[in-house]
Amino acid sequence: TMVVTESQDKMYYPPDDLKRDAHVPDFNSYLALYRKSLENPEAFWKEVADDFFWKKPATGPMLQYNFDVTIGNIYVKCMEGAKTNMCYNVLDRLVRERNLGEKVAYYWEGNSPDHHMAITYSQLLSQVCRCANVLKKMGVKKGDRVSIYLPMIPELVYTMLACARIGAVHSIVFAGFSSESLCERIMDAQSSVLVTADGVYRGEKLINLKQIADEALEKSNIMTDFMSGICSLFWCVQTPWDSECDVWWEEVMRDSPEECEPEWLDAEDPLFILYTSGSTGKPKGVLHTVAGYLLYTSLTFKYVFDHHHDDVYWCTADIGWITGHSYITYGPLANGATSVLFEGIPVHPHVGRFWEIIEKYKVTKFYTAPTAIRLLMKYGREPLQKYDLSSLRILGTVGEPINPEAWQWYHEAVGKGRCPVVDTFWQTETGGHVLTPLPAATPLKPGSATFPFFGVEPTILNEHGEELEGEAEGYLVFRRPWPGIMRTVYRNHERFENSYFKKFPGFYVTGDGCRRDKDGYYWITGRTDDMLNVSGHLMSTAEVEAALTEHPAVAEAAVVSRPHKVKGECLYCFVSLKDSREFTHTLVEELKRLGKIMRRILRQIARNEKDLGDLSTLADPKVVEELFSQRCEAA
Ligand code: WTA
């Protein structure tokens, strides 16, 4: 069904110079490899695994699974019986076997343009080993969880790889999260160590991470130990300190040995937990395992960015999100890539910062989010014209649907019409790209994530779970696993099964709506559940509602999404107060509830859509009129 035919949509074809030495140089090669990956996954993934180091070979098949809850428990296993180590594969293997020790792994670029450094693969390896020894000395053992609350500094990469080296499970918490969010994640993971920094500047704003971390620990009750990292820069922050449990990063690293034997793990041992919003409000600890995640992130990185040895690759995401885990740390390192690691924000100290960095490091592959593109679009083309962007060859986007206008701007103003835009659809749960173009092979349609990656078999279902062929719109699901798919929700396998496999037995349910056009292209249409996507960050309405109702004045809260020019979607909150409280904009006070809030109606009010249909189930339909009349235009 995936034939590219004559189409009404404007198509963008891969440039010839990219095709010349591409890994997948045309659409037929993509199709042939794709068919192989589905017809003979065993051979396909074995070949991928051959590039890596296995202390012990697998005894089981490349993939085993059950996706059908009516048959039994859901499970996915990759390369059962094999023993390996992620850190060994992304560092030692390259330094020892590929002689890449002197190659730059990261160009670190600070929030301030005056702060920067280059880190080679062998330097990275020795820092990681030292950190691994520090963790071991603190009593961290295989299987223990380590929470990491660090900004985008090299220490973040050192710590995560140190965990991977000793078999500890890292749980990174984005350093923009509150103490409540951090506390909740530390408690759920039952971490024994927390690695943080004293503080960080994001743009002009100072964030006192250590203080927030202390607040989080006060709220939690399970910490036995606490390690405080400090970035080697010199922010003059008054750092709260408890010498009973806090230690300075630099002090413990200084004396720590540079040799550390990797812990040989089972292929299905956990690598990390990363929390993602769940539609019930409580975040889900998405668990990824060693071998499958290694195979999948390395392969997607290689093909989707058509990686070559002399590339300089830059992904602007934060490592606190899955995009950073897969495409700043593991995927690029597994390929021996040189990446930019950027601490700052796109508009500091000026709105041309991204373009300045691309020129400075001669970035060839650039990966960012639609929300960043839309933000930078606002400043026009002038900031771009000051910089030489001719090194760019491939552009990528991730995190949310990209509107055609932003796509065109990215393609024309940033890529000068020369660089394919790979619109990569995936999730924390999928571990890596699942729908994506390949830059030298796939004709592009702006706004479409195009076709499935190798090993991925998407289909579209209607409300009754019936598969829709040809042109269709419905629920996006996957019929079988690929190596990098999540294995469970940490300590809650039942929630894993309920969230992703209950609705349509036999399928992994993404939670996204999707349309397949007559040429077989997939178009993500947005979430089908009570989740929303603000600036590429997924959140649940329930989570926000829970936060609002924690305020003593609030009786009830209902939150819906509403389109936003830059952020994609934004929150529109309806709040009702407790009896004795006064509220100047008495918005939702009189809203009577009948069992549940009619979210559909609220959403329509937020979007000012007047045709509301049947309101008979509302206890007091007059309320709707009132809400419309008091509707405010948000920025
Ligand atoms: C959305 C981010 C359209 C989608 C990697 C998905 C996208 C959620 C795209 C996952 C894209 C991500 N086009 N929508 N290219 N990429 N999404 O877990 O709704 O933070 O389910 O992972 O983002 O967000 P998450």
The answer, yes or no, to whether residue 229 has pLDDT greater than 70, is: no
Report d(CA 426, CA 458) in Å as an integer: 12
Q: How far is CA 502 from CA 68, 75, 510, in A?
A: 9, 14, 12
- What kind and span of H or E run contains 305? none
pLDDT value, residue 37? 98
Report d(CA 412, CA 424) in Å as an integer: 19
409: its two tokens: 């701007």
Q: What is the mean pLDDT of residues 28-43?
A: 98
3-class DSSP string for 433-500 = CCECCCCCCCCECCCCCECECCCCCEEEECCCCCEECCCEEEEEEECCCCCCCCCEECCCHHHHHHHH
Ligand 1 in contact with 277 (CB < 6 A)? no
**How far does the centroid of ligand 1 lie from the alpha carbon of residue 88, in Å?**
30
pLDDT tens sequence across 245-256: 888 898 899 999
The answer, yes or no, to whether residue 224 has pLDDT greater than 50, is: no
Ligand 1 in contact with 527 (CB < 6 A)? yes
Ligand 1 in contact with 278 (CB < 6 A)? no
Name the band, by pLDDT with cuts 50, 70 and 90, for residue 1. very low
The answer, yes or no, to whether residue 603 has pLDDT greater than 50, is: yes
Q: What is the mean pLDDT of residues 97-101?
A: 97
What is the position in ligand 1's atom list of the atom closest to the CA of 429? 18
**How far does the centroid of ligand 1 lie from the alpha carbon of residue 426, in Å?**
5
**How far does the centroid of ligand 1 lie from the alpha carbon of residue 164, in Å?**
26
Q: Please state, for a pLDDT cut of 70, what percent of the chain lies above it.
A: 88
Q: What is the mean pLDDT of residues 143-150?
A: 96
Ligand 1 in contact with 322 (CB < 6 A)? yes
DSSP 8-state secondary structure symbol assigned to residue 3: -
Residue (of 314, 322, 364) closest to 107 by Cα position = 314
What is the position in ligand 1's atom list of the atom closest to the CA of 435? 15
**How far does the centroid of ligand 1 lie from the alpha carbon of residue 159, in Å?**
26
ipTM of the complex: 1.00
Nearest residue (by CA) to ligand 1, atom 24, is 427
Report d(CA 349, CA 339) in Å as an integer: 22
Pocket mutation for ligand 1, best pick of 421, 512, 515, 539 (most atoms within 8 Å of C-beta): 512
The answer, yes or no, to whether residue 610 has pLDDT greater than 80, is: no
**How far does the centroid of ligand 1 lie from the alpha carbon of residue 539, in Å?**
11
Pocket mutation for ligand 1, best pick of 318, 328, 427 (most atoms within 8 Å of C-beta): 427
pLDDT value, residue 234? 40
Q: How far is CA 483 from CA 42, 64, 319, 479, in A?
A: 11, 10, 21, 13
**Range of 98-107, 225-234, 278-287 with top mean pLDDT:** 98-107
What is the position in ligand 1's atom list of the atom closest to the CA of 511? 21
Ligand 1 in contact with 423 (CB < 6 A)? yes
Residue (of 541, 87, 557) closest to 279 by Cα position = 541
3-class DSSP string for 566-592 = CCEEEEEEEEEECCCCCCCCCCCCCCC
User: What burial class does residue 407 get, using C-beta atoms within 10 Å of its C-beta: 0-12 exposed, 13-18 middle, 19+ buried?
Assistant: buried
Ligand 1 in contact with 540 (CB < 6 A)? no
| Range list of β-strands (E), 192-337 | 193-196, 200-202, 205-207, 265-266, 270-276, 284-289, 312-315
pLDDT value, residue 420? 98
**In the beta sheet, which residues pair with residue 205?**
202
pLDDT value, residue 577? 76
DSSP 8-state secondary structure symbol assigned to residue 15: P
Ligand 1 in contact with 316 (CB < 6 A)? no
Pocket mutation for ligand 1, best pick of 373, 395, 533, 540 (most atoms within 8 Å of C-beta): 533
pLDDT value, residue 555? 73
Nearest residue (by CA) to ligand 1, atom 1, is 400
419: its two tokens: 């660089």
Report d(CA 161, CA 125) in Å as an integer: 9
Q: What is the mean pLDDT of residues 144-161?
A: 96
**How far does the centroid of ligand 1 lie from the alpha carbon of residue 370, in Å?**
11
Query: ∠83-88-89 over CA atoms, to 5°?
Result: 85
Residue (of 17, 20, 21, 30) closest to 443 by Cα position = 30
Report d(CA 156, CA 152) in Å as an integer: 7
Backbone angles phi, psi at 300, to 5 degrees: -65, -40
* Residues 49 and 295: beta-carbon distance below 8 Å: yes
Residue (of 43, 76, 79, 38) closest to 61 by Cα position = 79
The answer, yes or no, to whether residue 148 has pLDDT greater than 70, is: yes
- What kind and span of H or E run contains 143? none
Ligand 1 in contact with 436 (CB < 6 A)? no
**How far does the centroid of ligand 1 lie from the alpha carbon of residue 84, in Å?**
30
Ligand 1 in contact with 323 (CB < 6 A)? yes
* Residues 124 and 106: beta-carbon distance below 8 Å: yes
Ligand 1 in contact with 533 (CB < 6 A)? yes
The answer, yes or no, to whether residue 360 has pLDDT greater than 70, is: yes
* Residues 162 and 195: beta-carbon distance below 8 Å: no
Report d(CA 295, CA 318) in Å as an integer: 22
262: its two tokens: 């990797």
Q: What is the mean pLDDT of the chain?
A: 89
pLDDT tens sequence across 367-400: 999 999 999 999 999 999 999 999 999 999 999 9
Taking the CA of residue 153 as centre, how many other CA atoms within 13 Å lie in the half-sphere pointing to its CB? 25
Name the band, by pLDDT with cuts 50, 70 and 90, for residue 448. very high
Q: What is the mean pLDDT of residues 77-83?
A: 98
Ligand 1 in contact with 425 (CB < 6 A)? yes
